[in-house]
Chains A and B, each alone.
Chain A
Amino acid sequence: GENVEQHPSTLSVQEGDSAVIKCTYSDSASNYFPWYKQELGKRPQLIIDIRSNVGEKKDQRIAVTLNKTAKHFSLHITETQPEDSAVYFCAAISDSWGKLQFGAGTQVVVTP
């Protein structure tokens, strides 16, 4: 089955700097890679996703890149703001499986 590893587990950045979170996956048949943000005490919410036929996707200050050869994908947040402080989860799902596999999460803290 699929295995998703996420790094780092915690990330502290100064407001205005960039944050990068990396995930690797094991199943080469994986074809959908969403990113979820979970604020303290709230439910996870999708912030961006990418499919295997695309190498990069941007949405304002957020971007995701996918390297299928190396089997890794990354979340980039530019010009970080205090409201970006949250736990971020990457995930992957394979065409072969119905299971959505999540990474262990990254706690991002943006300090003013």
Chain B
Amino acid sequence: EAQVTQNPRYLITVTGKKLTVTCSQNMNHEYMSWYRQDPGLGLRQIYYSMNVEVTDKGDVPEGYKVSRKEKRNFPLILESPSPNQTSLYFCASSLSRDAEAFFGQGTRLTVV
């Protein structure tokens, strides 16, 4: 089954404790991206990747890191999480930047 899988689904952590949210797709998509969703602000892009080893900043990249060492995986790293990073996070992949995006199930992150 074609899908985008992100883990974990829920995470509560403390300020400053490094964490990684994984994202994997099995559709051989070139374009992958991370979004955060906050009430009233819609979906804001954090980082995107056009292909392996090619990543670029979205609108809200501060406090986040990504890597794209393999085509299927695009992890999101928070080196030192802060409470303002409490949000719902979505990973998405698409064949190209101007094609249908398939979203993962979402990760609800709470930083206390």
B101 touches A101 (CB 8 A): no
Question: Helix, strand, loop or mixed for chain A's interface?
Answer: strand
Find out whether the CB atom of A93 lies under 8 angstroms from the CB atom of B97: yes
**Which among B58, B101, B104 is the interface contact of A99 at CB below 8 angstroms?**
B58
Within 8 Å CB of A102, what residues of B? Answer: 35, 42-45
Judging by beta carbons under 8 Å apart, are B103 and A100 in contact?
no
The contact size tier of chain B is 20 to 34
On chain B, the residues within 8 Å of A44 by CB distance are 43, 90, 101, 103
Interface residues of B in 27-70 (CB under 8 A from A): 31, 33, 35, 40-45, 48, 50, 56, 58-59
- What residues make up the interface of B, taking CB atoms closer than 8 Å to A? 31, 33, 35, 40-45, 48, 50, 56, 58-59, 90, 97-98, 100-101, 103-106
The 17 listed contacts between A and B (C-beta, < 8 Å) are A1-B59, A6-B42, A9-B40, A31-B98, A36-B101, A43-B90, A43-B103, A43-B105, A44-B103, A46-B100, A51-B98, A98-B56, A99-B56, A99-B58, A99-B59, A101-B45, A102-B43
